[in-house]
Structure 1
Amino acid sequence: MPDKYGVGEDAYCYAGSTVLRNKLEIRDEPTLDEAEQQLSAIAAASVEFNPPPYDLSYLQNIHRALFCDLFEWAGELRTVGMAKQASRFCQPEYMEKEAEKIFAKLATANWFEGMDRADLIVAVADAYSDINVVHPFREGNGRAQRILFEHLIMNAGFEISWWGIEKDEWICANIAAYNCVLGPMEKVFEKCIGQAIQP
């Protein structure tokens, strides 16, 4: 019985189900989705900004903070292959190596510090798309990645807000980026990245 990620039967789900095992023992997906949204939204407020360097461990710590009340494996790298529609994410055995390359590229770019807004939009869209293909967690990748990118963008000296981005627009941008078409993701970040933060 494949779930929305095409994983099917795996150790993350209750037997014969596509519902992820969770600390609250919720056994139906709509209720779990609701609990996940509420708990992660509350937890997000407690995730503190830190300046770079950023790495996979930093992203794992964000994920752990967001989902530790719900999943035993919060912050742990997934151990199963995953796909969503026609998008196949990085296989578990390659995730750390691929993430290391992406974060090294960010470090070489000096974490986008000193970029003007137009260049930042392009750079962030590209970097976000790369990390999304790694998709290191069984669930909750988008929320953890968005906080990582809030920190990256704020450190680069700009405001960031996800308000006003429609779910369908976000999904379409991610699918397009997976297929190396970055225009829709750049449009998302054009909306999200605000003005330079005044010192």
Structure 2
Amino acid sequence: MRYKTWESYFYPETYNPATGQGTLRNLYGERDAKALARMEYGDTSARAYDLVHGQVRLPRTYDAAHIRAIHGYLFQDVYEWAGQYRGVNISKNVSTFADVHAGQVDRYLNDVHRLVTGTEWASLDHEEFSRASAEVFAYLNQAHPFREGNGRTSKVFMEHVAELSRFTLDFSRVNPEVWNQASMLSGPDLGRYEPVPDSLVPVFRVIAQPRATGPSNPSADMGRSAVRASYPQVTTEVTRRSSGATQQRLSRRPGRGQGSRGVER
């Protein structure tokens, strides 16, 4: 893999060692981070439109290959590593994601596959669907398989999961800040492996909307929400994993801290 170090993802002339940030290498050759964000948003939105309106049909295997195929399609115009796992560990705010070197990305994605295929989605009522969806997303979010574009990929994947049910997902019904906060709080407690999806359940209650025709196979009725799954932002929010980020997880959820749920499996 070409991208084995944190710095290797950036153009050297844009990289700031003090902040650990710069402009990600991209297929446009664009060195300006803000310009890259706009270009990325435009191209991935067009690709997402293809996916959610059934113009491109990806195999619904609900596994790592499925998730990588979504990312590969969305970001094929932007990054040469589209559809490939990240080669470095990352964190965001106080969230520390799966250790790619320890095989945790595949482990979490295997859990995603198990949860999706082991659920009778067509029989779930609104509350059951909200809880099941929150659990699936919590594991997928903790995997965070890619260096960039995890949010957009995850939302399209969840739309594909919703096809199996009597509900659709309208992400435009939730404020991005609320979504990001709930996602952050769903991470595992310190020393634990399992995500904690409780914070995501109310969010999925809001975005889960009844489907007029019941479980759907085609994705044409998935609506426009996945197209608007992200907003143009400079890709500097994700940082390399640090021990400080891990330590902050002790206090981010009241009543749940070190020792509350044992040691990681």
Larger mean Cα displacement after TM superposition, 151-160 or 64-73: 151-160
Partner of 2:176: 167
CA contact (8 A) 1:56 1:100 kept: yes
Larger Rg: 2
CA distance in 2, matches of 1:100, 1:60: 13
Distance 1:152 1:9, change over 3 A: closer
Residue pairs, 1:43-122, within 5 angstroms: 43-47=47-51, 48=54, 52-93=60-101, 94=103, 95-110=105-120, 112-122=121-131
Residue pairs, 1:130-145, within 5 angstroms: 130-145=139-154
Specify the SS of the correspondent of 2:39: helix
Specify the SS of the correspondent of 1:194: strand
Structure 1 residue ranges without an equivalent (≥5): 1-7
In the TM superposition, structure 1's runs of 4+ consecutive aligned residues that sit over 2 Å from their partners are 48-53, 179-184
Partner of 1:156: 165
Equivalent pairs, count: 192
CA contact (8 A) 1:153 1:160 kept: yes
CA distance in 2, matches of 1:162, 1:133: 19
Letter matched to residue 187 of structure 2: Y
Larger mean Cα displacement after TM superposition, 46-55 or 35-44: 46-55
Letter matched to residue 68 of structure 1: Q
Specify the SS of the correspondent of 2:186: helix
Letter matched to residue 102 of structure 1: V
More helix by share: 1
Partner of 2:228: none
CA contact (8 A) 1:68 1:74 kept: yes
- TM-score under structure 1 normalisation? 0.88
